[in-house]
Amino acid sequence: MKLLKYFFPLAVTSLFLSGCQSVATTAAAKSSKPATLSTKEHMTHKSKPKKLYQTLELNSSSKEVWQLQKELKDLHDYSYPILTGYYGVYTEGAVMTYEFDHKLPVNGIATPTLQQMIAESVKHIPTPNALPAPYHILVKETIPERLYFYQGNHLLLTSLCNTGIAGARTPIGSFPIYEKYRSQTMRGQNPNGTYYDDPGVPYVMYFSGGCAVHGFIRQQYGFPQSVGCVELPPSVAKQIFMRVPIGTIVTVVNGPAVH
């Protein structure tokens, strides 16, 4: 979650300063001759080496990914219940949230520079539970179709929704929100070959290709009516839109949701 108050955008090379070394022994201090160190002692008293980072991205697995997940969880950006060491969509989404909150270019890739920034941000968390829990959107496609909006384990709201019709199904799985628009004109082709042009679609949150969670006025909700998007009453879409950052995970399931 957002931690701009405690983040200092220093040049990354300034984050790892070597400590001062005290090399004179008590006996040497009593001697009139300056203390000297053998080659072996020089090796022993070398500065602690800087931590080396490698770029981490989708579908990689390592102990470095596990450490990144731990730090993002400490910052309340990582919403998956366990640390896996696998860089999947939850890790990608958490990185995107951190990038978005810190006004960085959003691509979900943990570069060495970004990893150092995240590690530095963790040092400035005031208390373990000072940050709000991450959000999560869950959509179930069993009739009546319904969306659940969580913060951590707390259900904030639930609403009937509409998903994609045959030939334009809403994708199943988990995806990070990658773009948001307060209002947008949506154009495209229906499965029957006709075209649609809908101006002023409100509270648009894209999560997979051209599929988004957004507001849309319908006479009824709770069954497939869209061409792939998750449609909500505009008032409900607004509540979600105003809260979620880029990187928030949207999970679409074709069975009953657990809440």
- Provide the b/e sequence for 144-172 (b: ≥16 CB within 10 Å): ebbbbbbbeeeeeeebbbbbbbeebbbee
Q: Tell me the pTM.
A: 0.77
Q: Give me the pLDDT at residue 52, please.
A: 83
Mean pLDDT of the chain: 84
Catalytic site residue 229?
Answer: yes
Select 135-253's CATH number: 2.40.50.140, 1.10.3660.10, 2.40.440.10, 3.40.1010.10.
2.40.440.10
Dihedral sign, Cα of residue 232, residue 235, residue 237, residue 240: negative
The band of 178, judged by pLDDT with boundaries at 50, 70 and 90, is very high
Q: Give me the pLDDT at residue 51, please.
A: 75
Query: For the purposes of burial, counting CB atoms within 10 Å of the CB of 1, is it exposed (0-12), middle (13-18) or buried (19 or more)?
Result: middle
User: Can you tell me whether residue 220 is helix, strand or coil?
Assistant: coil
The alpha-helical segments, DSSP class H, found in 19-82 are 26-30, 39-44, 63-74
Q: Give me the pLDDT at residue 126, please.
A: 78
More confident residue, 6 or 230: 230
pLDDT at 5 over 60: no
Q: Give me the pLDDT at residue 16, please.
A: 33
Strand duo 249-253 + 135-140: pairing: parallel
Active-site residue, selected from the candidate residues 76, 161, 211, 214? 214
Select 4-10+52-123's CATH number: 1.10.260.40, 3.30.540.10, 1.10.101.10, 1.10.20.140.
1.10.101.10
> 8: which residues sit within 8 A by CB, 6+ positions away?
120, 124
Share of residues in the chain with pLDDT > 70 (%):
78
Q: Give me the pLDDT at residue 250, please.
A: 98
Q: What is the pLDDT of residues 94-136, one digit of tens each?
A: 999 999 999 999 999 999 999 999 999 999 987 766 788 999 9
Share of residues in the chain with pLDDT > 90 (%):
74
How far apart are alpha carbons 35 and 56 in whole angstroms? 46
Q: Determine phi and psi for 218, rounding to 5 degrees.
A: -130, 155
The band of 28, judged by pLDDT with boundaries at 50, 70 and 90, is very low
pLDDT at 210 over 90: yes
Reference 68, options 81, 85, 82, 80; nearest CA is 85
Q: Where are the domains of the chain?
A: 4-10+52-123, 135-253
How far apart are alpha carbons 155 and 137 in whole angstroms? 10
Residue 222 DSSP code? S
3-state helix, strand and coil shares in percent for the chain, rounded to the nearest 5: 25, 25, 50
How far apart are alpha carbons 77 and 244 in whole angstroms? 11
Count of positions (residues) in the chain: 259
Catalytic site residue 214?
Answer: yes
Both tokens of 16, joined, read 């790892």
